[in-house]
Structure 1
Amino acid sequence: MYSILIAEDEELERKGLRFTLEQDRRFNIIGEAATGREAVEMAEKYKPDIILLDIKMPGIDGLQAGKIIREKLPEAELIILTAYGKFSYSRQAIRIRAADYLLKPVRPQELLDSLEKIINRLKNKKEAEETLVPPSFIPYKEEEELIEEIKLANLNNIKPVIEKISKVINTRINRPTEEILKSLAYELIILTSRAAISGGADPEQVAELKKKTVLNLKNSKISGRFLEWVEDMIRGFVTLITENWGSGSNSLIDMAKNYINQNYQKSLTLDQVASFTHLNPSYFSRYFKEKTNMNFVEYLTRLRLEKSKELLLSSKLTVDKIALKTGFRSNSYFTSVFKKYEGITPTEFRTTYGQKNL
C-alpha cells in the first residue's frame, strides 16, 4: 500500500481527490493539508510515498512547500496540481523534481494514470534496493548545486561539484562497479538535460543530444575515466544553452535586465528577479555581479536614477511624484540617493541642466 498526502486549499477539490483515491485499495490517504505550511509539517511527520501539491495555497505556495519537502524527503514523489496550464510552472517544478503536473480540475483517470507510472517507478526503486544498487546516487545538496551551475553554463564551477559527487559515491560504495557508474552517469544525463532546458536550451536539441548521449553511454566503458566522461557530457548540454543565449533574448542576464527595466517603479527585490530567471537567489546574485560588474541593488538604483533624470528634464512633475514614479520610497530618500551619485539634488539638477536644454 502507498501512502498519499493531499495538499489542496479548496475543500471541494480535496473531497474529489480523496474520493478518486479511495476507490483504489493500493492507496492510503494519511492526511489532508489546506496550506503549504501544513503540507510541510504533515509530510515531515508522516513521510508519505506520494504528495499531491496544489501550486496556489495560502502562505507558502506549493512550489515553495515542495522545495522544503524535497530537502526533508528526497525520495517522496510529488505531483503538482495547477489551474494555470500544465507547463506554466515547469521550470520551477523541475527544481523540485516533480513526477507530474496535472491541470485542475483533475480528471480521475488522469490522476490514476499518473499514479500508475509512479507506482511502477517505486517498484523499480525497491527492486534496485534489493539488488544492492542504490536508486539514487546524487546527494540533494550537490544535485541542487550542479543544476544551478549548469543553468548558468558555468563550466569552471561544474567540475568541482562533479568531483564532490564522485567522492560521496566512493565513500558510500567501495570500488563502484561499471554497472553502478553507468547508473550514476544515466542519472546525471537526466539531471543535466532538465537543467539545460531550464537554462534556456532548445528542448528539441536537448532531446536529440540526450538520445545520442545515452547511446554513447551504452556502448562505452567509463570505469577509470568517469569524471572525464561526465565533464564531456555536461559540456555538450551547456553548449546548447550558450548557443541559444547567442540569439539574445534567451540570455539569463538579458532576461533579468528586461524584467528589472519593466518593474523598476515597483518595490523590486533580488528574490523576485531570481525567481523570474528560475535561479537560486544566491546564485543569481553572484552571477549578476559577475556579468554586469555591479550588484543587483546598485544596478537597480542606477536605473532608477537615469529614469528620474529623464523625467526631471522632460516633464513638469514634482520631485515628489518623480521619486514615487521611479521606485524611490520617499522624496527624502530619493534626494539623498540622487545627491550621493550625482553630487547635487534633483531640484538643482533640473534647474541646471533643464535650462541648458531649453
Structure 2
Amino acid sequence: MEYEQFDRRLARECAKAFSQSTGLGCTLSDKTGRAFDEYGYGCESCGMCAAAGASHDRCVQAHIYGMTEAERFGGKYIYFCPMGLTCFVSPILGEGGAEAKITVGPFIMVEKQDFIACELTENVRLTEAQKQAAVQVLENIPFVPTERVTQLSVLLFMAVGFMNNVSAENRMMESGHSEELQGQITSYILELKQEEAPPPYPFEKEHVLLQCVARKDRDGARRLLNELLGAILFVDGGDMELVKSRLYELLVLISRTAIENGADAEHTMRLSHEYRYRIGAFTTIDSLCLWLAGVVNHFMDDLFRFSDAKHANIIHRCTQYISANYKERITLEDTARMVYLSPAYLSRIFKQETGVTFNEYLNRVRVNKAKELLRRRELRMTDISLAVGYEDQSYFTKVFKRVAGMLPREYREKILVSRKD
C-alpha cells in the first residue's frame, strides 16, 4: 500500500464538518482523482454525466485540473465541470506539493432555467431525451448565489489550511518511505566506497533521470534520484550548504524538463522559485532527501496535460459571465482579461469548444433573451433592444434577423398568432 503523506482521518473530519455546516457535497480524494469519502451530494453521487451519456473520466480530469490551479492561485479555486456545474477545491499538502484535495460541489450559480437553456442546450448540446434526464438530475443539485460561493471557497481554504499545518508537524518522521529511501541511498554510498578512486559526478545518471521524468517513469526516476543523492552525499556530505546548492541545481534541471514535456510553465517556475527558499530551511539530510523525492513526484504529476479540462473550465466561466451580464456592454477583450488570457487565444479556443465565435455566441444569448421579451406585447422594441444589451435598435434588428431568420416584429406576430390558436 502506498504511503499517504496526509492525515486522512483529519481530512475526513474536515470534509464532513464542512458538508454538514453548509449543506453542500464534499468529496475527499487523492491527487489522481480517486475518491475516498463523500459527504452530502458530491460528484460521485451526481448523475449528470450518466444522464448526458458522457464519461465520468472527464469530470475526474476537471477536478484534478482544479486542484493544480488551486495550488497556483494560493490554495483555492472555483471552476466548472464538463457539464457546467460549479465546484471549488482546496488541496491537502504533503512535502512535495498537493497529495489530496477536498472538493465542494456540484452546485449551480444561475437559475435552473438559465442553466438548462445555456449549459444543457447551447453548450453541452444534449438530445431531447438526454436533456430531460439531465433536468431530472438537476432537481437534486443545489443553487448557491455567486457572492456566497466566493466566501464559502475562502472558508474551505481556511479549514484545509489549518488541517495542513496540523498534519505537517510529524509527517516526515512517521514516514515508512523515509526509511526505505535512506536505505537505498546508503546502499549506493557503500558501493561507491568500494571503488579504488573517488568516482566523478555521474552526469550520465542525471541525463537518464531527466529522461525518466519526461516519460513519467516514477520507479526509474526514484531509483536514479536515490543514486544521485548518494553520489552527492558521498562527495559533499560533510558540507550541508554545498549539498543544498547541488540539489537545487538538480531541481532546476528537473523543472525545465517538466516544462519541456508539457507541464504548465508558469506554475512550474513558481514552484521552482519557492523550492529555492524551502531547501534553505532544512537542517537534516534525511528530511531534505525525503522532501526532494516528493518534489520529483510532483513535477511528474504536472506533466499530465489538462488542456481539455482547462479549456472547458475557461469556456464555462465565459458563458456564465455572458449569461449573467448580457444586458451590459461585453467585449472579447474584457472577458479575456477576466480569465487571464489574451483575446486572440480566447477567441481561438472559444471557437474550438463551442463551434461559434465569441460574438456569435453573445448574440445568440441576447436574441434568445429577446425572444422571451417579445412575448410581452406591452414592451416596445427600443425597450427590448436595451434590455438585451443593444443600444442601437437598428443593429439589434439586424442581429436578430441574422440569428433567428426573421425580424423581431415578425417573430412577435408569429408567437402571438400561435398563442391564439
> TM-score with structure 2 length normalisation?
0.31
Of structures 1 and 2, the one scoring higher in RCO (CA 8 A, sep 6+) is 2
Larger Rg: 2
TM-score (norm 1): 0.36
